[in-house]
Structure 1
Amino acid sequence: MKARKSREKKGELEELGGVLGGSTAGALALGGRHKPEELSTLAANTRFSRKEIQLIYRGFKQECPTGLVDEEAFKQIFSQFFPQGDASQYAHYVFNTMKRKPSGKISFEEFLTILSKVSRGSVEEKLQWIFGLYDLDGDGLISKEEMLDVVGSIYEMLGRYTQPQIVEPHLAAREHVDRIFHLMDANKDGVVTIEELVQWCSKDEQLLRSLDTLDTVL
Structure 2
Amino acid sequence: MGCTTSKANLITLTDDDIEYLTRNTHYSDQEIRDWYKGFQSDCPDGRLTKKKFLEIYSMFCPDRSPTEFCDHIYRTFDSDGDGYIDFKEFLLAVGVTTGTDPREKLKWAFKMYDINRDGLIDVEEMSKIIKSLYQMLGSEHSSYNEQAKKVQFIFDTMDNNRDGKVSLEEFIDVCNQDDQLAKLLCVGTITT
TM-score (norm 1): 0.71
Find 1:178's aligned residue among 129, 152, 177: 152
For 2:51, the equivalent position in structure 1 comes to: 72
* CA-to-aligned-CA distance 1:98-142 (integer Å, 9 cap, x gap): 214564111112100111122215222111111110010011111
For 2:170, the equivalent position in structure 1 comes to: 196
1:157 correspondence with 2:136: yes
* CA-to-aligned-CA distance 1:160-204 (integer Å, 9 cap, x gap): xxxxx5424644432321222111111112111111111111211
Larger RCO, structures 1/2 (Cα 8 Å, 6+ apart): 2
Contact 1:152 1:173 in 2 (8 A): yes
Which whole-Å CA distance do the structure 2 matches of 1:171 and 1:55 have between them? Answer: 46
Find 2:7's aligned residue among 28, 32, 35: 32
Q: Could you say what secondary structure the match of 1:105 adopts?
A: coil
1:106 correspondence with 2:85: yes
Change (3 A) 1:82 1:37: farther
For 2:69, the aligned partner's letter is Y
Overall identity of the aligned pairs, in %: 32
Q: Give the greater-gyration-radius structure (CA).
A: 1
For 2:108, the equivalent position in structure 1 comes to: 129
Which whole-Å CA distance do the structure 2 matches of 1:187 and 1:209 have between them? Answer: 23
Change (3 A) 1:115 1:155: same
Comparing 60-69 and 131-140, the one that deviates more: 60-69
For 2:113, the aligned partner's letter is Y
Contact 1:98 1:106 in 2 (8 A): yes
1:187 correspondence with 2:161: yes
For 1:115, the equivalent position in structure 2 comes to: 94
What aligned pairs does 1:47-66 form with structure 2 within 5 A after superposition?
47-66=26-45
Change (3 A) 1:62 1:117: same
Q: Gaps spanning 5+ residues in structure 1: where?
A: 5-29, 160-164
TM-score (norm 2): 0.80
Change (3 A) 1:215 1:54: farther
Across the two proteins, how many residue pairs are aligned to each other?
182
Root-mean-square deviation (CA), in Å? Answer: 2.8
Contact 1:185 1:196 in 2 (8 A): yes
Q: Could you say what secondary structure the match of 1:106 adopts?
A: coil
What aligned pairs does 1:4-19 form with structure 2 within 5 A after superposition?
none
